[in-house]
Structure 1
Amino acid sequence: MVLTAESTNALGEGDDVVVEGEAVRVTDEAALRTLARLRVEKYGENWTFEVRDGVFAHAVGEALVFRVAPRKAFGFPRGSRTARPAPEFHRLTRVPGSSLL
């Protein structure tokens, strides 16, 4: 699985990041409700999802949710033709009592 993200929505500005890792579908409804709440806190009410049958549900459809454990990542300034690879990630031990997310 490859996940891409950008630091800004402005074309030609900011940095692009690519993360490689295994994608695992999240269906646990408690974890999905936590993630849905955090999305609203971060992005606002327009990002409100209901959790139903192991998916995010919205008036326009459903969205599957995946957790990606990063193995490799690299980033580069937008508009650049080169990327700088980062070292590989190693599996982290989960702290007892921490969130699944």
Structure 2
Amino acid sequence: MAEPVTEIDVRFSAPGARATSWAAARAALESAQLSWLSTVRADGRPHVTPLVSVWVDDAAFFCTGPQEQKAVNLAGNPHVVLTTGRDTWDRGLDVMVEGAAVRVTDQELLTRLAAAWRARWDGSWRYAVGDGGFHHEGGDGPVHVYEIRAAKVLAFGKGANAFTHTRHRPNLR
């Protein structure tokens, strides 16, 4: 989501606060060690789970086994929210990516994503690419990979006199 339209919501921001820049929101997504993915079950109930994700080419990516609850949910409803941030109310930045999760099967992109996972976590997340997804190196598989096609990214800045509610939307011009 290169250079989105950025708007501050003054209703939920401190007086005089400035919008969180896209660069700051993107940096939070790029550096997050943990995110939480919210999906919707077939009966409408929410499902939230922690996971590791990567931000590559201005998009969020995550992966899951095809039998895991989030994959089952995505088969019926692709709408998700990926959340990251701090567990403090008075400092830091919380960022949410809202959009549709679309399965990635392109071999070249999967290879780049596997390298991103490996580099991001000092080799702790090692995937081999094949059969339209990932396999754990030396282990089981398959692992489905998803891209979140962002409809909007919300950034919530926290701090004394700096509470902000910023919306970043794709620039559709």
Q: Same fold (TM over 0.5)?
A: yes
- What secondary structure sits across from 1:31 in the alignment? helix
Say whether residues 1:52 and 2:130 are aligned partners. yes
Which 4+ residue blocks in structure 1 deviate beyond 6 angstroms? none
Say whether residues 1:62 and 2:142 are aligned partners. yes
Residue in 2 that maps onto 1:16: 94
Q: Deviations over 1:69-101 (max 9, x none)?
A: 2221112258xxx97240422248xxxxxxxxx
Relative to 1, partners in 2 of residues 1:14 and 1:6: Cα closer, same or farther, differing over 3 Å? farther
Counterpart-to-counterpart distance in 1, 2:116 and 2:168: 29
Residue in 2 that maps onto 1:89: 170
Q: How many residues align?
A: 87
Percent of aligned pairs with the same amino acid: 30
Q: CA RMSD in A?
A: 2.7
**Residues 156 and 166 in structure 2, CA contact (< 8 A), matched pair in contact too:** no
Counterpart-to-counterpart distance in 1, 2:80 and 2:165: 16
Residue in 2 that maps onto 1:97: none
Q: TM-score normalized by structure 2?
A: 0.42
